[in-house]
Homo-oligomer: A and B are copies of this chain.
Amino acid sequence: MSRPAGGNGGRSKRPTMVDVAREAGVALRTVSRVVNNDPTVGPEYAARVEAAIVALNYRPDERARQLRTGVTGTIGAAVRRIAEVNPALAAIEHTARASGQTLLAASTDFDEAREREILVSMCRQRLDGIIVEPIGENHAYLEPEIEAGMPLVSMDRPMAGISADCVMSDNAAGIGMAFHHLYRHGHRRIAYIGDSERVYSGRERAAAFRAALGAHGRPAEGLVHPGEITPERVAAALEAVLHGAEPATALVTGTMDTTLAVLRHLGPQAASRLGIVAFDEVPLADLIRPALTVVAQETSTIGRTAVELLRARIADPARPAQTVIVPVTLKTRGSGEVPA
């Protein structure tokens, strides 16, 4: 006898497989077979079960399935900010979706404690794997999780204190490209403003810039300004660079936030008179003035590679940790071609 979904005696509760089995007059196991498209089920049994499923509005409980099978079919992504433009996250989602996996995205908000909270929570959920854009400066607390078999891949930066797969852009080559591009357009005093050297990418990019200066026999003093990305700090760095004894004629910005802070502080007029190459693409680049020449990261490659590294680790937990460096490309749009 069919029983409508809403009215099972006061308590609203979803029907389970046993309910469906009772309704269809078959064994529990048979319902499970039908739900999982097991071919070894007779057509009339299948039909009876299907009918019972629609009659009761049965929906399998994914949690129970996950508990029993051990796999969640979900990968976690702990990114710095959800709700902001993040092309790598889009690539992760597409790649994951293409193989039938669900993405659980969370935002660390640049907060180390929050990052830890999220990662531990993801481990407790026994996700199939985790991709993280690291914030914290020490991830040693993740070692037991890795040892316990939790696949972990970092994106954009490696994690300190543990050995894990990592995919990131070629920071050194990108900064080198930026410098050479400005140099080729006649600039001789080129300055760098970027992220703090406490973070890995900040260290790599500042070091690459110093190396580029050195390779051209230019002294570095007064030209390299890594540090926190705040409007005040960036403004101070700009003042130092542009209003000193020997003002710089060109600028390399080390992160997207640096670029935006620079543009906001200078305004379009002053910025247009400067040679500028920005590391990392800027949203709405075609609508911003001056039109920015950027070192573009292959964000979709990065996201896809992160998922692939994760899958490789899931398939073989014993494989050695691997670091993939993704090339970058220069996109000329004008700001880098301003003559000295």
Contacts and interface: CB of A to CB of B under 8 A. Distances in A.
Contact of A84 (B62, B63, B85, B287): B85
A330 interface: no
Contacts of A60: 124
A201 B148 CA distance: 49
Contact of A149 (B14, B105, B264, B283): B14
B286 A283 contact: no
A140 interface: no
A72 interface: yes
In the A-B complex, the 9 residue pairs with the closest CB atoms:
A83-B90, A83-B89, A57-B144, A62-B124, A62-B125, A105-B105, A12-B149, A83-B86, A63-B67
A260 interface: yes
Given A106-B102, A287-B260, A148 B90 contact: no
Nearest to A86: B83
Contacts of A124: 59-62
B289 A268 contact: yes
19 contacts: A5-B144, A6-B148, A57-B148, A60-B124, A61-B67, A61-B126, A62-B124, A62-B125, A63-B67, A63-B72, A63-B126, A82-B93, A84-B85, A84-B90, A85-B283, A103-B106, A260-B287, A264-B287, A288-B288
A37 B293 CA distance: 56
Interface in A127-150: 144-145, 147-149
Interface in A53-71: 57, 59-64, 66-67
A62 B126 contact: yes
Among A66, A88, A145, the one with the most B-chain Cβ atoms within 10 Å of its Cβ is A66
A148 B85 contact: no
A134 B255 CA distance: 34
Nearest to A283: B283
A12 B150 CA distance: 10
Which of A14, A67, A83 has most chain B Cβ within 10 Å?
A: A83
Interface residues of A, number: 55
A62 B121 CA distance: 8
Contact of A90 (B57, B62, B107, B289): B107
A317 interface: yes
Given A12-B149, A85-B85, 10 more contacts: A6-B147, A57-B144, A59-B123, A62-B121, A62-B124, A63-B126, A103-B105, A105-B105, A282-B284, A284-B284
Contact of A57 (B67, B147, B288): B147
Contacts of A321: none
Given A102-B121, A125-B62, A284-B288, A14 B82 contact: no
B72 A83 contact: no
Nearest to A103: B106
Given A106-B103, A263-B287, A125 B12 contact: no
Contacts of A61: 67, 124, 126
Interface in A28-79: 57, 59-64, 66-67, 72
